[in-house]
Amino acid sequence: MEWKLALVPIPVSDVERAKQFYSERVGFAVDFDVRLDGGVRIVQLTPPGSDCSIVLGAGDGVTPVRPGSVQGVQLVVPDVAAARGELLARGVPVGPVQHVESGALTDGPGGAWNSFVYFSDPDGNGWAVQEGSADPADR
């Protein structure tokens, strides 16, 4: 049986601000934006080329955890320096390219699967962007 990750809830304090950040600045596609009874708003976005999406939520409508508490969600790109450049060009504060060496982050690219950049959304939810192959067989 295959198990595929399909949706990651991201807790935010302001759904509209988060939607704008993820769609206009990070470049995720807006799949849908709906309002349900009781004022719950569901916004689903998908990173380019991904089979997994995120859903934004404020309050208990999507996830009961506090905004900014999600850390370490990871995206994989074929060229982390180019991805960093795109994020910077869109106004996303993103850190330098780093790699893990002797158990610590060090500036500069590393070897295969060992180059990263990090950014956070306006609520402080933390993301890692890792350079690697999109092919699951290469992991």
- State how far the Cα of 39 lies from the Cα of 4, in Å rounded to an integer: 30
Out of 3.30.1110.20, 3.10.180.10, 3.40.50.300, 3.40.50.2300, the CATH code matching 7-59+66-132 is 3.10.180.10
Does pTM top 0.95 for this prediction?
no
For 97, phi then psi, to 5°, come to -65, 130
Residue-wise pLDDT for 37-92, tens only, equals 777 888 999 999 999 999 998 766 778 889 999 999 999 999 999 999 999 999 99
Asked if the model's pLDDT at residue 139 lies above 60, the reply is: no
